[in-house]
Every structure is written in structure tokens, then in C-alpha cells.
Structure 1
Amino acid sequence: MKKLASINIGMIIYGFCLLNFTFLFFFVNESLAYTLYLICILLFSSLILATSISSLDAHKSALLCTLGCMNGGSFLFMSFCLLLLNQRYPIYLSAFTYTSFFHTFIIFTILFCIATLLVFIYFDQPHKRKSICYTYCIMVLIVFTLYQYIGYFLVSPIKINDKSALYYPLLSLILCSLTAIFAYRIAKKKQLFVEPKNLKVFYSLLALSMSIILGFLVSLYAKGLANYFYMVIQLTLILIFFRVISSDSIIQYSKDLTQKLELYTESSSLMNHYLQHMTIESQSIHKQYQYIDTLYSQMMFFYPNALFIIVDKNVYHANEHVRLLLKYDHLQPILYTPFAGYLAPEYRDEVETLIQDLYKHAKDYATIDIKMITATNEFVDVELYLTLSHADDPRAIIASAKDISYKIQEDKLRQDIELEKMKLEFFCTISHELKTPVNIIYSAAQLQNNFITQKEYDKIPTYNTMINQNCMRLLRLLNNFLDINRIESHFFNLTPRTLNIVDLTESLLGSTLSYMERKHITTLFDTEEEEIFCTIDADLLERALLNLLSNAIKYTKEEGHINIFISLEGHYACIHIQDNGVGIPIESQSLIFERFTRIENGLVRKAEGAGIGLSLVKSFVELNHGIIEVNSIVDQGTEFLIYLPVEVNTERLKYSDYVHTIHSEKIDIEFSDVYLT
């Protein structure tokens, strides 16, 4: 019915126009007949444009509808212009008529060519096709408006002879030919001519369009009865073009509707079957969900640790052990509250950083020992295990908190036992270190009394030396304890001076040569620089070096070697003290700087000590802003390295003429526990 209505409307308008302009042409006025003819052309152009636009979405390929839309706009432009031209210049073949007509005709031809190319470029692009058609129609209206303004103000009467008038038709013919060639190539590239009938339609439309274009040109020259036949033929061509466009679009629209209806019917049937299937599946899934939910609830209940499910930093779910750990009466106050609120304040930033690392996939899981806050504002020690759930949208953090309060208590008890054991060993060592020299002094004094009684005075000096050495040994031990106490109490007074550590080290080594010679130990001193200035407390460095040299002598066998070398390591001066003694096991090297630690590795009784010497050495070096390291291999020897910052302040270097005096009594005290035969 829609197809018949559209065709009948075209035939009714055609018959109406034909009868009326025939009557006007033969019985009234030829100019009025031409005006009515142009109005009919304008009406048909509007119908072509409206029919094509309404069928753009329904057309399967949309070629004819796109062509009708674009060329209908071109016909509309030409009919508007001719209608206005006929009203403005009713006298045929005047100079104004020639000029305006040919300008109008060439613009019409250009618009027609542009429209044809756009049709073949965009007819198969549904998203762009409609917008291109609308844009082109708007462009035609803009061009028409501008042309009327420009033509009214700028076009002046020009006498055009017949020869120059031929250039316009020739230019139009060239443009149309080029357009047809490009349109053919585009259509072929897009495989429009796979079916032979499409090629036939292309040539038919090309011939029809060219005939309409030439028809507009003929109107300029038609006179008398020829003008009447021209109007009939041109109107007939426009009618044919309208019927082709409307017939194809309506048929295709009907086919599309039928196909869509069938598709919707089939889709509805499939959807009903799918919904029935999904209903059964939903019931099955619901049963499985209930089963899994029951198992999950039991699992969460029997899981021994407190388990948090965290979503967007809030507690989304928690098991019963969370309530017990945090000492709440119910779980409800915990749910949907910030997880960070249950962490001790000093751990919140650290835990947040770990969670962000999990979200960034920087790590798969994280563990940390923290304190959590209970409902009674108490702190409980927990081991927190964090991991990222595999489910998306949203990604949840799974946090497992294990109460380790008992473990902390066990560790504290173990530390207390170790401390008591250390204290016991310390007191045993100190008792031995005090008892030995006291016994020696007491025995030597008794022997001296006997010698005095027996008047054997020549034997007394030997025992005086023994008493003196053990007194210095006691003094050294007491000094070490006092130094430890002052360091721990932060009451240790420093006297920093800028001095040449090369001279200091060499002088100390020279002062200890007598001890080395008694064991036939050879020594070598070398340095990279003759002067290396450091700002240090000379007494502390002296005691540290004497302690290390004392250990080197004690633990180096007779006829061994002790070497001292001073080097520059960047902004640090490094003092190397090497020996080829018994060495230190690798597992014990990290312990030698701890207090009350002595390494037994084949040492004889000549090597006495309370185990606090190296601890004091490290403290003395660090008080001088230095670093001490050790390298050792068992039965091959040991090397201690002391790093001290080199002085670079020029003001301090001006006063670097301080010379440290080494007292032999200090050396005797530091070497008092070295027993030499």
C-alpha cells in the first residue's frame, strides 16, 4: 500500500502539472507555463529528497537512496535558481539571462558531480552515510543563499556570443565524464559490480542523470513549440528518476521490515528457550550456592586464625575468630568499618604500603608482625598475612591475623634465659680475671716476706715485676668496665684533635716492638701517603690500635708476621692490621664485636681476656666517626680494617701540628694480659 501510494502521488502530480502548463502554454502565456513547469520540477526534487532521506536506514545497500538524497538536493538547487531567474528576467536570451543561467548551470553541475562522488564513497558506511547526506543538503542551501546575494550585487550584464557560450556546456560535459569515471572506479573497488544487474543499473542511472543535466541546458535555447516538448520530456525524466528511487526504497524498506519481523520472531522463540534453560540453570546454581555457602561458613568457623575480607579499605567480611581476637561481643560492629582502625597507629602506614604493593602486583603476598587494638583498648601481637583475591570487581584483600602473643612471651623468656646465661658466664669470667691476678699478687707477696725473713733480697725484684704486671692487668680490666659504663651512659668526654695518623700509628708500632721481638714476630709498616690528617680523639685511637696489636701478638705463633698498612679509600683513611695467626671462623666473625664474647679456636692459656676488648675497640672507632671491619681465614690469619674520615676543613688543618705523646705505662697496661715466656 505504501509503494502504491508513493507511485500514485508521483503520477497525480505529473498529470496535474502536464494538464495545467499545457493549458497555460497554448491558451494563456508561455512564461506562466514555464513558471508552473519549474514549480513542478521543484516539487518533484523535494519529493525525491524527502523519500530518499526517509529510506536511508531501511535500504539494504542504500546506494539508490543515497543517490536520490544527494542528487535531489542538486535538482532542488537548479529548480530554485531557474525559478528566481525566470521571475527576475522574463525576457529570454538577454545578456542577464545568459550570464545568470550559465553561472547557475555550472554551479549545478559541480554540485551534481560532488554529490555523485560522495554517494559512491559513503553509500556502504551506515554511520557516516546519513550525516554526509544531511551535510550536503545544508551545503546546497548555503551555496544557494550565497549565490543569490553574490549574483544580485556582482553579476553585471555581459554580452556572450555563441562561440563563448559553448565553453560552459563543454566544461559541464568534461566534469560529468570525469565524475562518471571516478564513480565507476570507486564502485568497482567496493565490488558493487559483482552482480551484472548492478552494472546495468549504474549505466541506466548515469544515462538518466546526464539526460536531466542536458535537459536543463536545452531550456536556454528552446523556443515556441520546442519549449513545450522540452518541458514535457524534462518533467517525464524527473518523474522516472523519482519512481526509480521511490520504488526501490519502498520495496527494500518492506523487505527489511519483513526480515526484521522474521528475525524478531525467531529471536523471541530462541529467547524463550534460553530463558527456560536459564531458569533451570539458575535453580541448579542456587542449590550449589547454598551448598557452597554452608561449606564456606563451616570453613570460616573452623579456620584457626582471624580472617578479614577487605574491600575499599573496609572490613567486608570476618569470621568468628576475629570477634574472639578483638574481644567483641558480636561481629556486626566490626563489619563495614575501616580495617586500619583495628591496627596500632605506628603500623597503619606500613600496612597500607603493603596493600598498595599487592594491588600493583609488586608482590604476591606480604607478612608483618604488628599490634592490633581490641575492643577494650588493649594491644594484641599478631602475625598479619596479606594477599590479593583472584576475583575481580572489586579486588579484595584477604588478611589473616594469627595471635602470636604466646610466641612473643616465649621469645622474651628465651632472651631472659640467654641474658641470665650471659650474665653467669660474664661473672664466671670476671671472677677468673679478678681472682687470677689477685692470687698471683698474694702469692708473690708471701714469697717476698719469706725472702725478707731469710734475707734473700736478690730474689725480690722478680716477684715485684710479677706484682706490677698483675696490678696493671687489674687496672686495665677496671678501666674497661668504667669505659663501658661511660659509653652506655653517654658521659664519655672526647677531645678531638687534627693530627697525622701515619705518625701516630708508626709510633705505636715502634713502642710495641719489644713485645713482638720476645716472640720473634717480624713486623712491617707501610703507607700510601706520608701525611694523612684526621680529626680524632688520639687517646681512643691509641687504645683501639694497642688492643688490636695486643690481640695480634697473643694469637700469632712465634716467628709469625704482623703488618700495618695505611691507605686512602676515597674520603677515608684505612688502617690495615694483618697477622698470620690462628684466624677466626666465618660463623664467629659477626660475634667478635659483641661484649663478653671470646672465640676459642686453639688458643692457649697465654691469651687471657674478659671478652670486652673488641667491643670497646668498635665503640672507640665509632666515637671517632669511623668504621671497623674484619676479614679472617682460619689458620691463615686475620685482618682488621679501621676507616677514619679524612679532615678536609682548611681551618682545622691550620692547627694540625699537635703531636701525641705515647706513654709506656699505657702500653704496659694494654699488654698486661700477654704472658711471655
Structure 2
Amino acid sequence: MKYKLIDLIDISQFQKLMETFYNISKVPHGLLDPDGNVLSGIGWQDICTKFHRVNSKSAYNCTKSDLSMKTMVNKKEKYTIYQCQNGLIESTIPIVIEGEHIANLILGQFFYHKPDLKYFRKQAEEFGFDVDAYLKALSLVPIISKEQLKSYMAYYLQIADMLTNIILKELKQRETESLLLRHNANLENMVAERTEKLKKINVALEKDILERKHIEKSLKESEERYRLLIELFPYGICVRNKDTILFANRTSANYLGFEHPKKVIGKKLTELFIPHPDYREVFYENMENIEKTGSLSLTEEKFIRILDKKILYVETVSSFIPYDNNREILVVFKDISERKRLEELQKKVAEKEKLLRETIELEQLRSDFFANLSHEIKTPINLIFSTIQLLELEIEIENKVISQDINVKKRMHVLKQNCNRLIKLTNNLIDITKIDSGYLKLHLQNCNIVDIIEDLTLSVADYIKNKNISLLFDTDTEEKIMRIDPYAVERIILNLLSNAVKFSKPDSKIIVNITSSKKEVIISVKDTGIGIPKEKLQLIFDRFRQVDKSLTRNHEGSGMGLSITKSLVLMHGGAIIAKSEYGKGSEFIVTLPAKPLSTKKNIVNSYVQNTYTEVIAIEFSDIYSS
């Protein structure tokens, strides 16, 4: 062919188009003539240019691959995918004009899968390469899937088709122009002699005109295909000058919040988006760099969309291109907002997981500390209490005079009461630790709950008779067999009674009442004591909470009793509430489900009266006699 490819197309414009695609896909390409001369190319791998092509052994493999490629081109396939003798994959699209092969459009080099390092290490050693440098160059070769290659080749086939059409039109146009020139020269020489042949020449001219019209029509069709390609491109493409959008495809319009490109074209950039405050300084630096260098490599940018104030994260590449006889900026960009939001969400999840782990570890340390502390305290307390009991026994046996001494009795009582108080505190700490760790379990059995509460109330009445506090018990049923842990119920009632006694003045009244129905049992402990302020009612079941220091100044307590009580009630599937009027008294209402165990277990009707003596002494240990 008398024309070369470089004379038929604008190579620089083709290079810019392919550079844009490379910036997005990172897959190298080349446009070569049949003699192997590179007309356009970007991203060629160091492993080929710095190793395979410069070594005599590996270069021989390259030559064999080139010959193989020519053989495959002769088969007239649309494109060929092959692996070179040195192990890299390339894909070639032949560009054939009127049966003549004038160029190859090459995609590569790349891998489908992660390369076999052992194989290439051995190959580097075989060819005498620097192994580390060779493997480093190998790591730069892109890896693409067959699906990706398929989409890339579809794009490349359209580019090849576009090149073919442009070349054909150019050739036709040049041939027509050449023919016209020949005819015009002949006409000047043959006007007089070949008048008869003018008709034939006119017919030929008409044919040429028709051909020119056909070429123009084909060119318009090619432009339409190119326009459709841009419109369907999955990334935003726009052309702008310094402050105005001149062209936009549908994807870019969608990114900016509009359905159609017409609503974007002609708008100022500031009408569509502004740089995010975090990115503003970098944005203006990038604008200056484009003016200076003519392009901007792949960059992450952050904008605020004017339409809805939404934050947009995009990846962009920019370059100057000729547009309507001016030098304007082509921008290709991709919305990565969703990816950024996912990364931010993953970061927050990781932070919360870390905080949760730290909280669990801290809670475990706290539970372990209280468990160890409680057990360490309980051992010496038991020894002290045992020693006091032995001392009392020895005094009574050895010296009856001392045993009758009021001061000695009073001091012994103080010692025992405070030992009991420490035991109560330690028991509460142990129970709280068990509750937190999930080790506290109920031992459920079928019991007559009325007998248990009545016996407890009578035992407490004897215990507090010297305080001038009236304790009454009332029930609407004499027997209610239900599934409970009797020791847990004992703990609940004793705690509520000790609180009632603690905050009741002399001549006050405490009423314990049981109301039964088919589905539940309601236990009320009501006193006429000092009451609880309304704003404190929601806090009294919180751990370590006390209503007010002024109220507890003369009444000792750790603030754990009602918290444990509530936990025990909830473990039974029940509920507890408090009602109070400050200065007039309080009422605690416990509701328990009245469900018996399905298995036939022994019914515990009541407890022996003296079994409560030690339990009451411990529970009431923080109530001092006046």
C-alpha cells in the first residue's frame, strides 16, 4: 500500500484516547505497523523492555512469539490471545484495509492469574537476570480476569473498527481527490481534441460525487457510533473549560444529580459542585497542575454536590484535548462514594469492636477483682466471728461475773453485728459478681410461698419488737404452690423488710400483704417511713445507688441490696416496682408468675423457725439499735 498508517490517522489523538483507557484499566497497549515499529503505546512492562528484549536467549523467544503472531494474523481472526514464549499473555487485533494488513492493535502484557514465582525465578536464573529486579518487574504486570479481558477486547474491537473506517474514508477521499486532479489535468490538455469524451468524464465525476456523499454518510455513522460509545461508557466523561461544562455524557450527568446531559452542559462548575473543605486546597493545586502540565493522573477527589449537598468521592483523570477549535480539558471520572462509605463503616465497626473487647475485658477484670476480694474478705471475717463466739463461750464458762457485765455484752454485740455487716457486704459482692458473670442460678422447686413469707415476717417481727415498729402480715390465700427458689425469695423479702425497718421511725407501721390470682402472686411490702423523693424513684434499683446521703447518714448500706433483689425477681420471670410519697412512706410491689414445676417434686411447706435467726442477723446487721 502506498500510504502508511501514520499518514492516515492522527497518532497523537489516538495516543491520548488510549492513555485515558490505560489510566482506568492499567492494562498496557500498543499500535504497531507490520514491521514491528511502535506507532503508539503506553504502559509497556519493564519485564519485556528491560529483560526479555535485551537478552539474546529471551529475545529469541520474543522473535518466535512475533512470528507466531504473524501466522495467527494470516488466519483473519478478529483477535488472537496468545502466551509468549517467555510466559506473558497478549491479545492482538489485526487492522486490515482492503485485504492488506497494515497494523496490529495489541493489548498486553498481562496475566489471568497470579504468576508462578517459582517458574519465573527459575527462568530469571536460566537467562542470567538479576532475580530480585526481575521478580519486581514481574510484580508490576497487571492481572485481569477473562471477563475483564472480554470487556476490554469488546472496547478494543470498536476502536479497531473505528480506525478501519477512518482509514478507509481517508483513502477513499484521497483516491477521489487524486482522480479529480488527474481528470482536471487531462481536461486542460484534451478540451479541443476529446470533446466527445466529456460526457464520460462527467459520468465519472458524478460517480465520484456519489462516492464522496457515501463517505460523508459513513463518517457521520462512525461519529454516531463514537457518540454512542461515549454515552454508554460506564464512567463519567465531560469536557470543560476553566469554569463551564461544554460536554457531558449521561453517566456524568447522573453523578451530578441530573437525568440528562442537557441539564448539565453550559452550567458553571460552581452551580454543580464545590470542593469539600477537606479537599479545597488540593483541588486548586490540581487545577494549577493541569494548566501547567496539560494532564492530571488518577486522583481521588471530594466534592459537595450543590443539588442536594451530598458528599461525592470520585476518581478522576484529566487531560487537555482539542475541542471546537479550542484547547479544553477532558475529564474521565468514576463515583466511588459507596466504596468510601463502606470503608468508613468498616472503620467504625472495627473501632466499636475494639471498644467492645476492651469493655468486656474491663468488666471481666472488675468481676474477677470483686470475686477475689469477696472471698479474701470472707475468710478472715469467718475467723473473727468464730473467735468472738469462742470468746463469749469462754467468758461465760470461766468468768460469770464478766459475762454478766453490760459493757462487755454491749461490746460483744457490736463486734458480732459488724461481723455480720461485713458478711452481708461480702455476700452481696459475691452475688453481684455471679449475676454479672451468669453463674448465679436459681434452684427451683414447688413451694408454698405463703408459708415462707409468713414465717419470715413473724421472725422479723420478733427481731424488731424492741424498735416500737408494728409489723403486720395479711394474705388472701393460705396456700400457693408455685415454682420458686425459696432461698432467693427469702433474700428478696428480707431485703425489702430490712429497708422498711431501716427507714421507719418508732411507732411506724410495716405491712406485708400477699394477693394471689391464677396467673401470678403479688407481694407488697409497705411502710409509713420517711419515703423516697419522686425524682429518685427511677434510681433506687441502680447498683451502688443510695437515695440521699442525708437520708442514709444514720442508716448504713452499700446500695447493692435493691439491685440484687431486682435481679432475683427478674430471674423468676417477675417484676418489681416502687411507689412512694416523700415523708409519708414507700411501697415495694413484687409480681411473680404462679407456675408450678411440671415434674413432681417435694413441696416445701415451711421452714423451721430457728433457721432464720442467723440470716436475719446478717440482713439486719446495718440497722443499729438506738
TM-score normalised to structure 1 length = 0.39
Which of the pair has the greater relative contact order for Cα pairs under 8 Å at 6+ separation?
Answer: 1
Structure with greater strand percent: 2
TM-score (norm 2): 0.41
